[in-house]
Amino acid sequence: MTKLWITRPLPEDVVAAARACCDDVVVRSETLPLTDAELRAALTDFDIVLPTLGDQFSAAVFADVPKPRCRLLANFGVGYNHIDVAAAQSAGVAVSNTPGAVTDATADIALMLMLMSARRAGEGERMVRSDDWPGWHPTQMLGLHMSGKKVGIVGMGRIGQAIARRCHFGFGMDVYYFNRSDKDLDFPATHAPDLHTLAQSVDFIVAAVPGGAETRHLIGADVLAAMQPHAHLVNISRGDVVDEAALIAALQSGQIGGAGLDVYEREPEVPKALRALDNVTLLPHLGTAALEVRLDMGLMAVRNVAAFCEGQALPNPV
């Protein structure tokens, strides 16, 4: 009998698909990440676990359970920096994820944040809701026109390319990007040699890199200082890709034009200093928050579970 633990409530169709391929499916009702005790119980009490963002399967967790019953972590999400993959594999635990399913939804959020930040949409809505709007006049809340500007994409993977296509074909923007290597793209784009060169050259920077130790604080005070004073920063990757303290200082001083954030360094904590600023748009990690997207993600995770149960190769191994 195969016992599967789904660590968060998921759409009913996903749970039904899971029950169709596993004998015993337990769905955790909590919406917060697994506790330390639950992380260890996941490895000892279940054959397969379907975790997600925030479920910190660290090396320390695997060290405490050197011979786990669990043999697969079928992650719900494309990002898996909350799982120490090397430690999992050393313990005989496979890891899969859900690439592709999140691409368009996340790219859409990036464009929304670019527009909201550049055109001061959050600030304007707060003005209307607080009954402080004096009425239209020609110099009210002048923002940055996005069409025809230059965008710099940090990380030209699936999501980065989807963002770039929207910017180029939808808004006539010139695309620049910083990536570990040149990309063979189906649209015109310039590969920047380093982040500083990129920051100096563009009107918008969009962070679209994976999380993890290699990208932590990739965008720090030095990159922010290199940006043009009118430029905007958007982060839809992982919160710690941007040095939050440095960003707050840059926004407070007017060093950059503004920012749009869907992720934060210590989610769900959002610093009071950040919340107090008008020149930043703040979203509650909405990147994939559409029912059809979450359904696709869940069914992709379940396909990895089903393949594992049938002794077949995982469709999406990490």
Tell me which of 8, 119, 120, 238 is the catalytic residue: 238
Half-sphere exposure of 18 toward its Cβ, with a 13 Å CA cutoff?
A: 29
Tell me which of 38, 191, 196, 267 is the catalytic residue: 267
Q: Is 238 an annotated catalytic residue?
A: yes
Q: Is 267 an annotated catalytic residue?
A: yes
Tokens coding 225: 């200082």
Asked if residues 164 and 105 have their Cβ atoms less than 8 Å apart, the reply is no
Tell me which of 19, 196, 216, 285 is the catalytic residue: 285
Instruction: Please give the positions annotated as active site.
Output: 238, 267, 285
